[in-house]
Chain A
Amino acid sequence: MARIRPRGNGPQGLPGISVTGRRAGTFCLLLIATLCVQATRVQVFEAKELDHNSANQRLTIERYSQPRGNILVGADPVTGSVPTGGRYDYKRSYTDGPMYAAVTGFASQAYGNTQLEGTEDDLLTGTDGRLASWAVWNALARKQNPGGDVYTTLDRAAQEAAMRGLGSQKGAVAAIEPATGRILALASTPSYDPGSFAGYSSADQTAWNRLQTDTDQPMLNRALRQTYPPGSTFKVVTAAAALADGIVTDIDAPTDAPSPYVMPGTTTPLVNATSACDRPGLSLDTAMVLSCNSVLGYLGVQTGLDRMVGMAASFGFNDGRLDMPVRPARSNFDTKMNQSQVALSSIGQFDTAATPLVMAMVAAGVANNGTVMRPQLVDKLTKSDGAVVQLMKPAVYKRAMTPEVAGQVQTLMTDVVEDGTGRNARIGGAVVGGKTGTAQHGVDNSGTPYAWFISWAKPAGSTAVPPVAVAVVIADSDATDVTGGGLAAPIARSVMQAVLGR
Chain B
Amino acid sequence: MATSSAVTRTAARPGRPVPTRRTTELVLVLAAVLLAVFGYIEVGVNVDGTVPADAAEYGAALGVLALAAHAVVRWRARYADPLLLPIAVLLNGIGLVVIYRLDRATAGRSAAPTQLLWSGLGVALFIAVVLMVRDHRRLRRYAYVGALAALVLLVLPIFFPPVYGARIWIVIGPLSFQPGEFAKILLAVFFAAYLAVHRDALALTGRRVWRWQLPRGRVFGPVLLIWAAFVGVLVLETDLGMSLLYFGLFVVMLYVATARTGWIAIGLALAALGTVTVGWLSPHVHSRLTDWLDPLGSIAAGKGANQIAQSLFAFAWGGELGTGLGNGHSMLIGFAAKSDFILATIGEELGLTGLIALFLLYALLISRGFRTGIALRDPFGRLLAIGLAAIVGLQVFVVAGGVLALIPLTGMTLPFVAQGGSSVVTNWIIVALLVRMSDIARRPAPEEA
Contacts and interface: CB of A to CB of B under 8 A. Distances in A.
Interface stretch (A53-61, A207-215, A299-307, A346-354): A53-61
A18 B359 contact: no
B348 to A, nearest CB: 9
A141 B319 CA distance: 12
Contact of B355 (A19, A39, A57): A39
A22 B296 contact: no
Majority-rule SS of A interface residues: helix
A449 to B, nearest CB: 45
> Which of A12, A25, A38, A48 is most buried by chain B, counting CB atoms within 10 A of its CB?
A25
Given A20-B255, A39-B355, A44-B320, A28 B366 contact: yes
Contact of B252 (A18, A24, A35, A57): A24
A135 interface: no
Interface string B389-427: 110011011001100111000000000000000000000
B367 to A, nearest CB: 6
Contacts of A141: 324
B270 interface: no
Contacts of A460: none
A390 interface: no
B358 to A, nearest CB: 10
A55 B305 contact: yes
A391 interface: no
B312 interface: yes
Contacts of B351: 43
Given A11-B199, A35-B359, A35-B406, A18 B3 contact: yes
B356 A36 contact: yes
B316 interface: yes
Contacts of B296: 53, 55
A83 interface: no
Contacts of B256: 17, 20-21, 24
Contacts of B257: 17, 20
B393 A28 contact: yes
Nearest to A8: B259
B74 interface: no
Contacts of A16: 259
Given A18-B1, A28-B389, A53 B299 contact: yes
B295 to A, nearest CB: 10
B401 A55 contact: no
B309 interface: yes
Contacts of B370: 21-22, 24-25, 28
A268 interface: no
A11 B396 CA distance: 32
B148 interface: no
Interface size range of chain A in the complex: 35 or more
B374 A21 contact: yes
A35 B395 CA distance: 12
Interface string A23-44: 1110111011011101110111
A168 interface: no
B321 interface: yes
B363 interface: yes
A82 B3 CA distance: 71
Contact of A43 (B200, B204, B327, B352): B352
A50 B257 CA distance: 45
A35 B356 CA distance: 9
B379 interface: yes
Contacts of A48: 316
B321 A140 contact: yes
B383 interface: yes
A465 B332 CA distance: 59
Contact of A17 (B317, B355, B379, B404): B379
6 tightest CB-CB pairs across the interface, nearest first?
A: A28-B393, A25-B370, A50-B316, A55-B305, A47-B316, A31-B397
Interface of B: 1, 3-4, 199-200, 203-204, 252, 255-260, 296, 299, 304-305, 309, 312-313, 315-321, 323-324, 327, 329, 332, 347, 351-352, 355-356, 359-360, 362-363, 366-367, 370-371, 373-374, 379, 382-383, 386, 389-390, 393-394, 396-397, 400-401, 404-406
Interface of A: 8-12, 14-25, 27-29, 31-32, 34-36, 38-40, 42-44, 46-51, 53-58, 61, 140-142
19 contacts: A10-B203, A14-B203, A14-B259, A17-B379, A25-B366, A28-B390, A29-B363, A32-B366, A35-B406, A39-B315, A42-B312, A43-B351, A43-B355, A50-B317, A53-B309, A55-B309, A55-B313, A56-B316, A61-B329
Given A17-B256, A50-B312, A50-B313, 16 more contacts: A10-B259, A11-B204, A11-B259, A14-B258, A17-B257, A18-B4, A22-B374, A24-B255, A29-B363, A35-B400, A39-B315, A42-B312, A51-B313, A56-B316, A58-B329, A142-B327
